[in-house]
Structure 1
Amino acid sequence: MQRQLAFWPAPQNTSQKPPIWDNLNPQHRATLITSLARLISKTVQSKDLSEIQEDKHDQ
């Protein structure tokens, strides 16, 4: 008889992960936050641009 696998299996290891931010110095934190903000803004801007181009194409 086949067993069905759980769709969302429970984690086997319940240990706490170390906090990432505590291990970074302020300069690295600022660099990381700036990089993430730039990636997010590029993604949002490219999505907005593609929607504008689709609207122009539909007209």
Structure 2
Amino acid sequence: MPRQMQLWATPKESPQSQKIWRNLEHQLQKDVIAALANLICKMVLSQDANQSQEESHER
């Protein structure tokens, strides 16, 4: 089966970043994941608050 040609190059993760992540202690990996999850939650909540404020101003 012939390979399909890519329209644009997809960035690949550098091997160095993989090594850095694997070399972190397990607890530090968990802390990084928890911090990222908290940031995602804050962004979602702030977007919800902004939408409700816009709706109240439109009335």
With normalisation by structure 1, the TM-score equals 0.67
Which residue matches 1:12? none
Amino acid in the other structure paired with 1:36: L
Q: Match of 2:15, SS?
A: coil
Give the distance between the partners of 2:40 and 2:58, measured in 1 at CA: 27
Partner Cα distance (2:24, 2:46) in 1 = 31
**Which amino acid letter does the alignment assign opposite residue 35 of structure 1?**
A
Question: What residue in structure 1 maps to residue 15 of structure 2?
Answer: 17
Distance 1:17 1:54 in 2: 44
Q: Which residue of 2 aligns with 1:56?
A: 56
Q: Gaps spanning 5+ residues in structure 1: where?
A: 1-15
Root-mean-square deviation (CA), in Å? 2.0
Name the structure with the higher helix share: 2
Partner residue, 2:11: none
Match of 1:43 in 2: 43
Q: TM-score, normalised by structure 2?
A: 0.67
Moved over 4 A (4+): none
- Letter aligned with residue 48 of structure 2: D
Could you say which structure has the larger radius of gyration? Answer: 1
Structure 2, unaligned stretches of length 5 or more? 1-13
**How many residues matched?**
47
